[in-house]
A and B are shown apart, each in its own frame.
Chain A
Amino acid sequence: MVSSTPNPEPRPTPTYRLTEDQAALRDAVRVLADERIAPRAAEIDRTAEFPWDVKELLASHDILSLPFPEQYGGLGGDLLTVCLAVEQISRVCATSGLILAVHELASLPLLLAGTDEQKDRWFPDLAAGNKLIAFALTEAEAGSDVAAARTRARRDGEGDDADWIIDGSKRFISQGSVADLIAVFAVTAEDDDTPRRDRLTCFMVEKDMAGFAVERVEHKMGIRGSPTAELSFRGVRVPDANRVGAVGEGFSLAMRTLDRSRPGIAAQAVGIAQGALDVAAAYAAEREQFGKPISDFQMIAAMLADMDAGTEAARQLLYKAATEIDAGAADAGRWSALCKLVAGDTAMRVTTDAVQVLGGYGYIDEFPVERMMRDAKITQLYEGTQQIQRLVIARALTARQH
């Protein structure tokens, strides 16, 4: 029998070409990064202090407002535009690029599931950069295995609008010690039979709530100016109005958040790779050994060519992924995992090769590539390790077979 329903319109393949606005915003961020942030990068790394001056700079130039809707004073930038900005900043300073990436990451639960009242309450200050926000999912015993979280939220009293009491601790929370607002994912399931994906709920904890404390800040290999904090919650009373999304929806909200935020980390990685490539290419043209510039040696030239090819490939995959996600792709999770996987590995390889091109000078802190190599490593770890990205991609592949 011939079906009478016509074939559904095939979904057009989203493509991208940077709009004039996107190119103009990217160029503006690039100039700002080169002239105002680059000179600070080495010092930020050395002192391992959060660069409040850079945060102010990003706020005053509306860069922190990019992810927020216009009605809250944001620029309503799409994901691709946010990525362009993260990339340009990370090219000169990965710590500084992360300020914007985390600002977006941690605001996503509110963007995706927040009520109008919650957006009214928090977005204007976040968009203006008056307040910072952090994303607290990871725990000491719950890293890749997010659903294993132990931080608990219990209702204090009867009724659907009773306050919550949060107890537990979160580890490795970027900007957790400088944020005014923290999106905390806590277990609300009453019993162990609740399916893993229905156990968590997201809450906004404000930094001056009683019982909230910053326990310590880690000493790290890279992104040293970005404070990575251990946070504790001892009977923190949180009004129900601070609950984001439905009770039990936290896991899926966290996953949807990561589907949109991983490209930000990919952008950080592409930026780091480009920064290292730029330094290596310039150095190779200038440094002479055996009577000629080392870029004349084919082994060096080939390394530079591979670095460029890898960086550009990662960038194009990132822009494509951001475009797919902005267009509402059903397999957004796959796209975001693809671009983070490729970009993170590229950043690691390119920065390692950049150190190689600079030889001994690449290994000392007179040149920025050793810092870039240390910074690159984190992009293979956070917002899901590379292994977890492969898991996500492989699961999407398997799902397609059914």
Chain B
Amino acid sequence: MRIVVLVKPVPDTASGGERLRPDDLRLDRAAVPAVVNANDEYALEAALKLTEAHGGEVHLVSMAGPTAPETMRKALAMGAASGTLVTDDSLAGSDMVSTTRVLAAVLRGIEYDLLLAGADTSDGGGGIVPAGIATLLGLPYLSYAAKIIPDTEAGSVRVHRISATGYEVLESPMPALIVATQALGEPRYPSLKGIMAARSKTLDTNSLADVPLEDGAAVGGAVSTTAVLGSEAPPPRAATRVIREPAEEAARQVVEFLADRRII
């Protein structure tokens, strides 16, 4: 089985230093270390488990800034076999439509049985790129996957899609695009051997000129249809009450606090 996972480097939210650049209000990607978008890690974990069970390889695809290889190595260290990166100055500030077009164009040149994506990214948070790609590529779109059960012989896949009341079972032919959820299981930590091996794995880096876009498709920051007009920090939190009691007493006080305010 060949599985492609879409991954995006995002600022590490744990660093607490994320900010917008004052001049153009774009995310300041140089300000904080990048990590693999957490939801993409769930997709990658699911893909790795599938290839472990059914054979095959996982390939990464990303459109990101010039420092992306460093972050993508972390995903390779988890066990992906190889990767394709599109990076180009003109793509900085791309909107979701551009991102969708570029990724779809790259994916046309790659063979796969399944295409996995995370539910959304922690920086952009749009969550529509996977659906857009499925549309452009004419792929079945299976979202909110809690479970993925491929039938390699029949060339089909079943997905348990989380619904408000439980889950629905979807079935589609492969290739298909699946949007992962955290229900698929905690991402693994890379092993030290994985980290060492990642250094010698192939990461194919392309500029925009290498990407066979559909005729007339304009992409990049210059044609972005969205722009950030301003940003404001949320109002500071009211005083925090920290309860430092043994667990039982602490739980009692939390319950009391919530009950007093009729929250529970």
A contact set with B: CB distance below 8 Å? 20-21, 24-25, 28-29, 31-32, 35-36, 60-63, 65-66, 75
Contacts and interface: CB of A to CB of B under 8 A. Distances in A.
B196 A21 contact: yes
A28 B193 contact: no
Contacts of A32: 189
Contacts, number: 36
A63 B73 CA distance: 19
A345 to B, nearest CB: 31
Contact of B192 (A20, A35, A36, A63): A63
Contacts of A29: 192
Interface residues of B, number: 11
A28 B196 contact: no
Tell me which of A25, A62, A65, A66 has the highest count of chain B C-beta atoms within 10 A of its own C-beta.
A62
* Minimum-distance CB pairs A-B, first 9: A62-B192, A62-B193, A61-B191, A62-B191, A24-B195, A32-B189, A25-B192, A28-B195, A75-B192
13 contacts: A21-B195, A21-B196, A24-B77, A25-B195, A28-B192, A28-B195, A35-B189, A61-B191, A62-B192, A62-B194, A65-B192, A65-B193, A75-B192
Contacts of B73: 24
Contacts of A21: 195-196, 199
B132 interface: no
Given A65-B193, A75-B193, 15 more contacts: A20-B199, A21-B196, A21-B199, A24-B77, A25-B195, A28-B77, A29-B192, A35-B189, A61-B190, A61-B191, A61-B192, A62-B193, A63-B192, A75-B192, A75-B196
Contacts of A60: 191
B199 A28 contact: no
A31 B189 CA distance: 8
Nearest to A63: B192
Contacts of A25: 192, 195-196
A62 B197 CA distance: 12
Nearest to B198: A24
A63 B195 CA distance: 12
